[in-house]
Amino acid sequence: MNTMMNSVQLIGRPGNEPEVKTFDNNRVVARFDMAVNVKRNKKAQWFRIVAWDKTAERVACCIKKGMQIAIDGTLLNDNWTDAAGVRRNMTEIRLNNFLLVDWNDNKNLA
């Protein structure tokens, strides 16, 4: 039952190329926004996706804007006070794994 706690699975399309950053301690992070259509003719829902280390390296080489992907991750909430004293909140999905759904759309990766 523990595998179902805080588990998120989505199929959608990245709306931007992943932003990849490498830190001094050799950790790698990749972030992108993903659109998921709820129903036909309805507005897409957008989710912020973040991946770390080996998963981030795979994201950097494999995920491109517009390709259909399936993701598995966990939901994270963060809050902080910015330099101006304004309380900020952010929700993102920490990526555990992903699959390229329609390989024909992604054949240029081979």
Please return the burial class of 57, using the count of CB atoms within 10 Å of its CB with bins 0-12, 13-18 and 19+.
middle
**Residue ranges making up the domain that contains 85:** 2-109
- Span 67-77, pLDDT tens digits: 999 999 999 99
Amino acid identity of residue 48, one-letter, is R
Is this structure's pTM higher than 0.85? no
28: domain CATH number? 2.40.50.140
Q: Walk along the chain (110 residues) and give the pLDDT tens digit of each residue.
A: 566 789 999 999 999 999 999 999 999 999 999 999 987 777 899 999 999 999 999 999 999 999 999 999 999 999 999 999 999 999 999 999 999 997 665 555 54
Helix (H, G, I), strand (E, B) or coil at 109: helix
Number of domains present in the structure of the chain? 1
- Cβ neighbours for 48, distance < 8 A, ≥ 6 positions apart: 31, 33, 90, 91, 92, 93
